Structure 1
Amino acid sequence: MSSGNEPNGDVGEREKVLPVASEAETPGQKTERSTKGIKWFLLVVGILSSAFLFALDNSIVADVQPQIIETYPGSIDKLPWLSVAFALGAASTTLVWASLFGSFDYKPLYLIALVLFEIGSALCGSANLMDVLIFGRALAGLGGAGLYLGVLTLLSALTTASERPVYVASTGLVWGLGSVLGPVIGGAFAESSATWRWAFYINLVIGGLFAPVYLFMIPSVDPRPEQRTVQKAAAFDYAGSFLIIAAFSLGTVGLSFGGSLFEWRSATIITTLCLSGLLFVLFGIQQCFCLFTNLEHRLLPVQYFKSRTLVLLFVQSAASGAPIFVPVYFIPLFFQFTRGDGALDAAVRLLPFVCFLVFFSLANGAIMGKEGHYAPWYIGASIFIIIGSALMYTVNETTSTARIYGYSILLASGAGCIVQIGFIVAQAVVPRSEMSAAVAFINLAQISGLVIALTLANTIFLNDAQIQIANILPNASPDEIDSAISASRSAFLQSLSRDVQQQILHAIVVSISKTYILCMTSGALILVLAFGLKWERVFLVM
């Protein structure tokens, strides 16, 4: 039996059982809840509603992008930011929120995150410019990251050790539900008289509904009651926060605008990407040597990079972003172009993928909870991801709907099997006192992978489609080309001959197919790294 720290031994060792520190090893841990009955039910539902909103916003724009572009003509070059801005806001601040929740009272932090999320949603719904909408998405992502970490932190703090795994696991179920309903809700609003704007206003309605729970029923929990607020603020890692946020922001700008607004070899893109890389390096140096901070308060748990298991889990969790989110955004777009689907119908087409993704995520949690091995899951899942992605790459405008459903289910089955493994294993191989840091570590990997995957996928799609359509219509203006890409029923596209329309449709479908190269690459990376994992068993014993 291991102590709960990083497991010892070589890959060749057959098996290890790695429990987290037990109840007896955690002095002062509560053995009975003070809140019970209907009050406890309302409290849990209210807290979980935040995880639902975060998941909903992750996928809700997947199906309303054409309607948004129609609202803001000439903004096709900013299309990647509809999805990326939210993920960027979350990825760049995940470590910041984790550090804050490690020092300050949970309740005010949770409420601050909620307010930021709701303000961002309100800006998105009321935006009169695409730039305002993008800013709102980034602000909602920033608040959403705090909400999600707040949910995990509050549920861990308010539950007993014996019941905690069930309540923490429920966040995965709620996340799945939000992911499933996101495209459907967005599509339903886009086709109604309410318009796509209510895909964001709905967050205000749900937030208002549970406002009494947030304000009056969530208790204050101070992780460091012995320190005053001024002391906590003085110890915060401001330098690290600035470096990580700036690095993510510049990197995403460079990847998103490269090839669309600027040539990849332009000085603007090269400078932006180089600055991003430099800031990441500076952040690493600052964290390693605790410059302008200290070991206890630095943002990044650098010690985890000394663990082979945690490093592999980090990279694999980041790689899982492509097979999870590329289909969520591009399957509806495919059906809108090839089948003439409206937003709601296209969202329904996505349900087989999302439902199987959630099902296999839950199945993995249930089976791993009893059996314990995790390396075989990565090997099997990556094979499904590679096969499913390769099949999706072969899809064209004449491929039957049934085949597309089958291919997407294969991809979803593989992605679902590994979506939660990183969280489970990371918490099982660190001391109990570091479990929140382990969650933040894997969460950073997943959201970073999401940012990279969506940025690259959108860039691949737009750049390739623009090049192909420009070859088909050499005399078309950039605005006309963008109009053809932005919607299957655009006035410009409808004005062309049937033969030219078919050529453009084929070009767009080919461009969509190329985004699945990212999924194949991610699956291959996960497979290779899986053979470096230790063949061991882990059990999350609270």
Structure 2
Amino acid sequence: MDHRHILRALSGLLIVLFVAMTSSTVVSVALPQIIGSLNGTQSQYTWVVTAMLLASTASTPIWGKLADLFSKKLLLQIAIGIFVVSSIACGFAQSTEQLIAFRALQGLGMGALQVLVQVIIAAMISPKERGRYNGYLGGVMAVATVGGPLLGGFITDTSWLGWRWCFFIAVPFTLLALVMLTRTLHLTEIRRPDTKVDYLGASLIAVGVSVLLLWVTFVGNDFDWLSWQTAAMVGASVVILGGAVAVEARVKEPVVPLHVVRRRDPALAIVASLAVGMAMFGGAVFLGQYFQIGRGYSPTEAGLLTIPLMFGVLVSSTVARLVSKTGKVKPYIITGVIVLTLGFLGLSTIDHETSLVLVSIGMLAVGVGVGMSMQNLVLVLQNTVPLSELGAASGAITFFRSLGGTIGVSVLGAVLANQVATKITAGLTKLGVDPAASSSGGSTLNVAAMPPEIREIVRAAYGDATGHIFLISAAISVVGVIAALFLTPTKLRDSVDLSPARAGAGAGSGGGVRPRSPWFRWTAPV
């Protein structure tokens, strides 16, 4: 496909990616109103988020592997169909039980769309040329991540729309993208009728990851970190995932190709992506809460205040397109994760009275770091694998990034809750109010309904505690810096597929032919 045809197909792919990612964040602001309208409970509030997250994350590597075995275009069309039907169903849900079930189905479609878009782009464009288009991809991901809550706030604040449009709004855009892709996307599909899907490995991965994510979701709230529930869930997850590794090491067509992810550069890219995912998603989720509760802004205003984060990603994603000129991706990744760390260090100093200018500078740095590192880390992994393993490899790194984001949200949320509880207790005691006897001591997020003096204590507690979680985010992103420094400084290849000799040899991290070690491969810099 030439540049003009690539842009035509890319337009539909970017619309699909934007809608899928936006749908995962657009309801975050509207959830209190949604649950209230359906007469749901706090437990059901959590499950509306968890159901989507579980289905999306656990199914990502499976969709990636299916893309290696079957028509990528057909799989994308199926995923779009699942997403459209589930979005309409969510909008018409009459109870929280129905909404939870439909959100799980929607998560299945979201996970498919996010990984299939990246796989299809990689199947159309060589790694070296892909840098030109990764700017568009990173920009769309940034706008979706930050713009989702902004759009949700606008819909929630607009009386003539209502919360159901948080789900309906995605449908026309997705159908438009389906029409565009049907007409413009033309891939050379390699038929492999002799292959079999590893259903056992896929099932073990899905179950093991689901148990782990359930533990991450509920630990710290429903039970303690050190408890029998933790031992049971973590132990079960380790055993099940251990069984999955044993299966994947023996089957002909593994869902997660272990011989790929244990090489030096793919492994380092996954570690760095895991760290960036934990830091970025974990930190960004709580920015909206900081502006709404800690600073007293409305949902729409909170969304507008996060524009520096989105702008940073947009600008840096454009700059990162220069990787196509040189083919050298490591300098951009190292610069990105360092700037990301500095941004989080800056945000770790904020409290409920910090100047918005300083907060904006910190968010801008975080955005720049994410834009320069996130998609380029995917590029590092895709550069090391042949076309036949592209889907599984892309699914693996997307899976670990999503898993990192999920764990980051849970861990940082637990830290924030603990800090807030401590600060509110201290504030109420200083005010002469018994925290145990006060029903307003942070047990509800309806800050506007609190007495003025308690309202200020709660706002200050959230505003001051947020800095602590950004300090943890900075520490996590340091892991990404270390992983990036050890990446091999190789050049991106200028072909879509590896040469037959290199593909057959497994394609080392530098693209050369090297013997495979039984566990982990460390290659000398090229």
Larger RCO (alpha carbons 8 Å, 6+ apart): 1
Unaligned residue ranges in structure 2 (runs of 5+): 429-433, 497-526
Structure 1 stretch 451-460 or stretch 161-170: which is displaced more? 161-170
| Structure 1 residue 315, shift from structure 2 partner | 0.4
- Check conservation: 2:146, 2:309, Cα contact below 8 A: no
- Paired residue for 2:415, among 432, 437, 460? 460
In the alignment, the residues of structure 2 paired with residue 179 and residue 196 of structure 1 have an alpha-carbon distance, to the nearest angstrom, of 19
1:384 aligns with 2:300: no
Residue of structure 2 equivalent to 1:17: none
| Structure 1 residue 213, shift from structure 2 partner | 4.3
Residue of structure 1 equivalent to 2:375: 420
In the alignment, the residues of structure 1 paired with residue 391 and residue 457 of structure 2 have an alpha-carbon distance, to the nearest angstrom, of 52
Map 1:272-311 onto structure 2 (within 5 A): 272-288=233-249, 290=250, 294-295=251-252, 297-311=253-267
| Residue type of the alignment partner of 2:420 | A
**Cα distance 1:273–1:188, how it changes in 2: closer, same or farther (>3 A)?**
same
| Residue type of the alignment partner of 1:431 | P
- Check conservation: 1:386, 1:523, Cα contact below 8 A: yes
Structure 1 stretch 202-211 or stretch 314-323: which is displaced more? 202-211
Is the partner of 1:419 in helix, strand or coil? Answer: helix
- Paired residue for 1:516, among 470, 477, 488? 470
In the alignment, the residues of structure 1 paired with residue 15 and residue 210 of structure 2 have an alpha-carbon distance, to the nearest angstrom, of 28
Residue of structure 1 equivalent to 2:142: 176
In the alignment, the residues of structure 2 paired with residue 381 and residue 47 of structure 1 have an alpha-carbon distance, to the nearest angstrom, of 25
- Paired residue for 2:326, among 347, 371, 380? 371
Residue of structure 2 equivalent to 1:20: none
- Paired residue for 1:328, among 274, 277, 284? 284
- Paired residue for 1:526, among 473, 476, 480? 480
- Check conservation: 1:323, 1:415, Cα contact below 8 A: no
Residue of structure 1 equivalent to 2:19: 53
**Cα distance 1:419–1:44, how it changes in 2: closer, same or farther (>3 A)?**
closer
| Structure 1 residue 260, shift from structure 2 partner | 1.1
| Structure 1 residue 189, shift from structure 2 partner | 0.4
In the alignment, the residues of structure 1 paired with residue 472 and residue 69 of structure 2 have an alpha-carbon distance, to the nearest angstrom, of 38
Residue of structure 2 equivalent to 1:409: 364
- Check conservation: 1:260, 1:462, Cα contact below 8 A: no
TM-score under structure 1 length normalisation: 0.80
1:398 aligns with 2:365: no
Residue of structure 1 equivalent to 2:114: 148
**Cα distance 1:397–1:411, how it changes in 2: closer, same or farther (>3 A)?**
same
- Check conservation: 2:134, 2:317, Cα contact below 8 A: no
**Cα distance 1:158–1:383, how it changes in 2: closer, same or farther (>3 A)?**
closer
Unaligned residue ranges in structure 1 (runs of 5+): 1-30
| Structure 1 residue 200, shift from structure 2 partner | 1.7
Residue of structure 2 equivalent to 1:191: 157
**Cα distance 1:44–1:380, how it changes in 2: closer, same or farther (>3 A)?**
closer
**Cα distance 1:103–1:236, how it changes in 2: closer, same or farther (>3 A)?**
same
Residue of structure 2 equivalent to 1:253: 214
| Structure 1 residue 443, shift from structure 2 partner | 1.6
Q: Deviations over 1:174-195 (max 9, x none)?
A: 3334334322211110111113
- Check conservation: 1:389, 1:411, Cα contact below 8 A: yes
**Cα distance 1:381–1:446, how it changes in 2: closer, same or farther (>3 A)?**
same
In the alignment, the residues of structure 2 paired with residue 373 and residue 164 of structure 1 have an alpha-carbon distance, to the nearest angstrom, of 12
Q: Deviations over 1:471-490 (max 9, x none)?
A: 64533478x55653x2332x
| Residue type of the alignment partner of 2:154 | A
**Cα distance 1:355–1:87, how it changes in 2: closer, same or farther (>3 A)?**
farther
In the alignment, the residues of structure 2 paired with residue 191 and residue 222 of structure 1 have an alpha-carbon distance, to the nearest angstrom, of 46
Q: Deviations over 1:230-280 (max 9, x none)?
A: x65xx2111111111111111111111112122333322321122112222
| Structure 1 residue 392, shift from structure 2 partner | 1.4
In the alignment, the residues of structure 1 paired with residue 92 and residue 425 of structure 2 have an alpha-carbon distance, to the nearest angstrom, of 34
| Residue type of the alignment partner of 1:104 | F
| Residue type of the alignment partner of 2:106 | A
| Structure 1 residue 97, shift from structure 2 partner | 0.6
Alpha-carbon RMSD across the aligned residues, in angstroms, is: 3.2
Residue of structure 2 equivalent to 1:125: 91
In the alignment, the residues of structure 1 paired with residue 55 and residue 470 of structure 2 have an alpha-carbon distance, to the nearest angstrom, of 25
TM-score under structure 2 length normalisation: 0.82
- Check conservation: 1:74, 1:482, Cα contact below 8 A: no
Residue of structure 1 equivalent to 2:268: 312
| Structure 1 residue 321, shift from structure 2 partner | 0.9
**Cα distance 1:313–1:119, how it changes in 2: closer, same or farther (>3 A)?**
same
> How many residue pairs align between the two structures?
489
| Structure 1 residue 165, shift from structure 2 partner | 6.6
